[in-house]
Amino acid sequence: MAESMPANRDAFKVFYPITTRWMDNDIYGHVNNVTYYSYFDSAVNRYLIEEGGLDIQNAPIVGYVVNSSCQYRAPIAYPDQIEVGIRVNKLGNSSVTYGVAIFKMDEIEACAYGDFVHVFVDRAENRAVPIPGRIREALTQLQ
């Protein structure tokens, strides 16, 4: 999936700024690979909260990450200012596959890009359910 995704800004609908932190760097002097996933997660959830009305504390239906991948193209390191671009690659009944990418501020080509899959579940019953209406509307805007 991620390998065929265009890795430039034009392919993404929404961008969120992220400030890298000193602790994000690893012994090799660049942001550690696992940290990219936290950037993806932060951007997607910010969108769901702000645009989809997701109440992460009390909502009876929430999104669980069931799959993610990342292709690394160029390193980033503290104190780089970056942006995470997001879009929807596939919108199903109970799941959504996002396209996500990390860009250095004002650069056209992504430093990293990948996929991030949420399945929406009933929190109490821990089973998949249809994506709630307001969230679905917000996700449709990212297609």
| Domain of residue 122, CATH code | 3.10.129.10
Determine whether 139 is exposed, middle or buried from the number of CB atoms within 10 Å of its CB (0-12, 13-18, 19+). buried
What's the rounded mean pLDDT across residues 11-24?
A: 96
Per the structure, how many domains does the chain have?
Answer: 1
Mean pLDDT of 58-72: 96
**Tens digit of each residue's pLDDT (9 = 90 or more) over 34-46:** 999 999 999 999 9
Classified as helix, coil or strand, 39 is helix
Looking at per-residue confidence, does 100 or 106 come out higher?
Answer: 100
Please count the helices (runs of H) and the strands (runs of E) in the chain: 2, 6
Which residue, 141, 9, 121, 118, is CA-closest to 60? Answer: 121
Domain limits for position 60: 2-140
Q: What pLDDT sits at residue 6?
A: 64
pLDDT of residue 7: 80
Q: What is the pTM of this model?
A: 0.93
pLDDT band at residue 5 under the 50/70/90 scheme: low
